[in-house]
Structures are given as structure tokens and as C-alpha cells.
Structure 1
């Protein structure tokens, strides 16, 4: 096999892994809803831990590995510890912990620059202007706030709501809200770039 073929195969694998992990994350709430009362809570906790472990493994070769390693590890430990006390709650708490973990990463990056958004953007924009860095800090703050609110809503549904509503919110509504936030930020970014003469 030629080197170009090897590169294509490696690129295909590198794209496939995050896509499969994202699909697993979306499917997780619905799997929990379908399995509650039919499958042992221990098995569901192991599923949650496997997802956290897969996320941690995927981070190894990313620029954000150092920033996200601690919060992802904390999510793993928190889920495992809660699983020993209350397996059912641990399965419902997994999305809560993930949201709080990533919110903590965004928040910490604001205290210890560069911001997480700047780290993520460093692949295509390694030397952003001061204006761009300030904008990225604002976007990081928005994501931090969004994830905290998302975690609190998910926590409320886990504690006081029906599992079906928890599943619908965590597996569908929250992703729609994230998509809207991504789209809104993209539109704002275009306006900011035009305002600073950087193009669209």
C-alpha cells in the first residue's frame, strides 16, 4: 500500500472515531431509558465509564489534551464513585458530570490563558491577533455559562423529572441548543472578522 493510501486510511480512522463517539454519546440517554429496569445498573455505569474512557483516549493526540485531561478524569472518578453508592443515579448523572467537567475546563482556561477556544482554534489560527484572542475569551465564557446551565437542567431532570424527559433533553434538546449556539457564534464571528477587516 502506498504512503498516500496509508495517510488516507489514517485520516479516515481519525475522523471515524470522533463520529462514532459522538453517536454513542447521543444514543446513551435513550439506551439508559430503554434499559432501565431491564438491565442491571452496574452494566449501565460501566457503559458510562466506557464512554468517558473513550473520550479520554481520543484526547491524547489533540491540542486540548492537557486542558481537558483533569476534568475528564474527574468525571470518570465521580461516575465510578457514585456508581458504588447509587448505580441508577450514576447513569443519570453522567451527562451532568460531563457538562460540569467541560464547563470547568472553559472556566479554568479563562483564569489561565490561553482560552480553551483559542487552544481549539490553534490548529488553523496559531497566531491570533489581540482582538481575536479577546473574542475567543468571550466565546469561552459563553460556552462555560451554557454548559453550567445545561448541567443544572440535566441535574434537575435526573433528580425530579421522569427518565423519558431526561433522555429527551440530554439526547436531543441539549444537542439542538448546542447546534444553535454554534450557528449563532459562527454568524457573530463573521461580523467580527468583517469589522476588523479579516474577511469572512
Structure 2
């Protein structure tokens, strides 16, 4: 009976850490407004440690990326706590976009591109037209990560936590959803053609 509960607890722990990391900008904003670094940084550190321990990706590169991002988050939270400097926490979205840009960009130079690898998980025998399409989508994501990271960096430099939270915890996610939605529509049209 206890063994059956372990996978559920692990899945719940994994889900909670994913939610906290997705809500990172809001958590930082609320933490800085209400509890300060003494409360916020240890909570973030524990979250990133749990993320390191529970991360599982479908591709080895994504697993390595997920663990690297968790380690970076842990490093930022620990340094912020030790140095009593909250500004460092704001740079996590910049690191996320930079690492995603590097991963997607590198995959263009060392095929197959990330999007093709993900597509092959559900459709192992991609036709040449689909392979070309996945390369183009990977390029689009590279442009997105560059621009999104640049705007995230600008919000860090601006030093306005409300602006930083609005962009990194709201607008950025809306843009990701919009890009995914547009790509899905285009993909369906390409598949029909």
C-alpha cells in the first residue's frame, strides 16, 4: 500500500515544483512585497532542489536543460539570499531564454533540430516536407527566445519589479501561447497541403 502511494506523492511533488517555477515571476513579486529575501530565497532554493531531483524529460537534451535551469535557479536564489540582493532573482528568465536559444540554435547546427526530435516522438517516420517544416519552426523559436530574452533583460535593467513581473509572468507566457497556437494552425495547413 505504501509503495503505491510513492508514485502519487512523487507526481504531486513534481507538479507542485513545475507550478512554482512557472509562477516564478509572480512568486518573486509576492515574496519581495510581503516576506522579503529571508523568506523568498529559501523557498525558491527548496523548489529548485526538488526540481533537480524530480525532473524527467522526454529527450536527454531536454533533461539536461531542465536540470541546468534548476541549478541556475538554485544558484540565483542562494546568491540572492547570501548577498541580500534581490535583483539577482530577476535574471532567471534571461537565463532560461538564453539556454533555450543555445539549445535550439545548436540543434540547427547539429541536426536533427529540437522540434524535429520532438515531432519524431509521436511520428517516427517524418516525410521530407515535415523535416523541412520542423527546421523552420526551430528557427522561429530561436528568434522568439532571442527577442524574449532581450526584453526580459531590459526589464531587469529597468529595475521595476512590477514591470518585470508583468512581462515575465504574463506577457511572455501569452506570447509563448500565441506562438504555439499560430504554429499549430500553420502545421495543420501544411499537413493538408
Runs of 5+ in structure 2 lacking a partner?
A: none
Separation of aligned partners in 2, 1:99 and 1:117: 16
1:26 aligns with 2:22: yes
Runs of 4+ in structure 1 deviating by more than 6 angstroms, as ranges, are none
Separation of aligned partners in 1, 2:110 and 2:137: 15
- TM-score (normalizing by structure 2): 0.78
Which is helix-richer, 1 or 2? 2
1:14-65 deviation per Cα after TM superposition (whole angstroms, max 9, x unaligned): 6x666544432332211211221654536544554555555555553x3322
Taking only aligned residues, the RMSD between alpha carbons, in angstroms, comes to 3.1
Separation of aligned partners in 1, 2:54 and 2:71: 14
Q: 8 Å contact 1:49–1:76 — kept in the other structure?
A: no
Runs of 5+ in structure 1 lacking a partner?
A: 196-200
Q: Note the 1:7-86 alignment, pairs <5 A.
A: 20-36=16-32, 38-41=34-37, 44-53=40-49, 55-57=51-53, 59-60=55-56, 62-67=57-62, 69=64, 72-73=67-68, 76-77=71-72, 80=75, 83=80
- TM-score (normalizing by structure 1): 0.76
Q: 8 Å contact 1:110–1:137 — kept in the other structure?
A: yes
**Number of corresponding residues:** 187
Q: 8 Å contact 2:115–2:134 — kept in the other structure?
A: yes
